[in-house]
Chain A
Amino acid sequence: MRRSAITPYLIVGPIALVLAYPFYWMLWTALKTDTDLYNVDNNPYGFGSGSPTGRNFRFLFEETEYGRWLQNTVVVGIVVVIITLVLALPAGYALARLSGGWGQTMGIGIFLTYLVPPTLLFLPMSRVISELGLQDRLLSLMVVYPSFTVPFSIWLMMGFFKTIPRELEEAALIDGASRLKALVRVVFPISLPGILTVVIFSFSLVVNEFVYAVTFISTSTNRTVSAGVPTELIRGDVFYWGALMAAALIPSIPLALLYNTFLDRFIAGFTGGAFR
Chain B
Amino acid sequence: MEVAAPARARGRWRDALEERRFFAAVLIGPAVLFIAVLVLAPLLLAIYLSLTDATAGSLSGDFVGLRNYTEAWDSPNFRRALRNTVIFTVISQVIVLLVAGVLAHQLAKPFRGRWILRFFVLLPWAAPIALGTIGFLWIFDSLFSVVNWTLVHDVFPGPPEFKPYKVINWLFARPALPDWLEIKPIDPFAPPQWLGQPTLAMAAIIFVHTWRIIPFATVIFLAGLASIPAEVEDAAKVDGATGLKKFWYVTLPLQLPIATVALLFGIVFTATDMTVVYILTHGGPFNSTHMLTTWAFDTGINSAALGQGAAVSLYLLPVLILVAVLMLRFARKVEVS
CA distance A29 to B306 in the complex (A): 40
A164 contacts the other chain (CB 8 A): no
B38/A144 in contact, CB under 8 A: yes
Evaluate contact between A204 and B125: CB separation under 8 angstroms.
yes
**Chain B minimum-CB-distance residue to A38:** B144
| Given contact pairs A116-B46, A147-B35, A263-B118, A226 touches B128 in the complex (Cβ within 8 A) | yes
A112 contacts B by Cβ under 8 Å: yes
Q: Measured between alpha carbons, how far is A264 from B313 in the docked complex, in Å? A: 38
From A2, A5, A211, name the one whose CB has the most chain B CB atoms within 10 angstroms: A211
Cα A110 to Cα B103 with chains together (Å): 30
Against A, the Cβ 8 Å flags (1 = close, 0 = not) of B201-224 are 000000000010011000110111
List which A215-258 residues lie within 8 A (CB) of chain B: 225-227, 229-230, 241, 244-245, 247-248, 251-253, 255-258
Which A residues lie within 8 Å of B24 (CB)? 94, 97-98
Q: Is the CB of A16 within 8 A of B117?
A: yes
**Among B130-138, B165-173, B282-290, which stretch is in contact with chain A?**
B130-138
Chain B residue nearest to A154 (CB atoms) is B31
The secondary structure that dominates the B interface is: helix
Binary per-residue interface labels of chain B (14-57) against chain A in the complex, 1 for a CB within 8 Å, 0 otherwise: 10011010011111101110110111111101100000000010
Least CB distance from A258 to B in Å reads 8
Closest to A247 in B: B131
* Residues of chain A from 38 to 97 with CB closer than 8 A to chain B in the complex: 38, 40, 43-44, 86-88, 90-91, 93-95, 97
Residues of chain B lying within 8 A (CB to CB) of residue A5? 111
- Min CB distance A3 to B, Å, is 8
User: When the two chains form their complex, are residues B139 and A256 in contact, meaning their CB atoms are under 8 A apart?
Assistant: no
Q: Are B313 and A119 in contact (CB under 8 A)?
A: yes
The reply on B177 being an interface residue by CB < 8 A is no
State how many angstroms separate the Cβ of B300 from the closest Cβ of chain A. 8
**A26-B107 in contact (CB<8A):** no
Enumerate chain A residues within 8 angstroms of B118, measured Cβ to Cβ.
260, 263
Q: Output the least CB separation between A193 and chain B (Å).
A: 10
A259 & B125 in contact (Cβ 8 Å cutoff):
yes
With A12-B107, A119-B297, A260-B118 known to touch, is A252 a contact of B226 (CB < 8 Å)? no
- Residues on A close to B: CB < 8 A? 1-3, 5, 7-9, 11-13, 15-17, 19-20, 22-23, 25-26, 29, 37-38, 40, 43-44, 86-88, 90-91, 93-95, 97-98, 104, 106-108, 110-121, 123-125, 127-128, 143-144, 146-147, 150-151, 154, 178-180, 204, 207-208, 210-211, 225-227, 229-230, 241, 244-245, 247-248, 251-253, 255-260, 263, 266-271, 273, 276
5 A–B pairs (Cβ distance < 8 Å), ordered by A: A87-B34, A116-B317, A120-B42, A123-B306, A267-B219
Beyond known contacts A124-B42, A230-B130: 8 more, CB 8 A cutoff? A44-B144, A114-B268, A115-B320, A116-B46, A120-B314, A128-B42, A267-B223, A271-B224
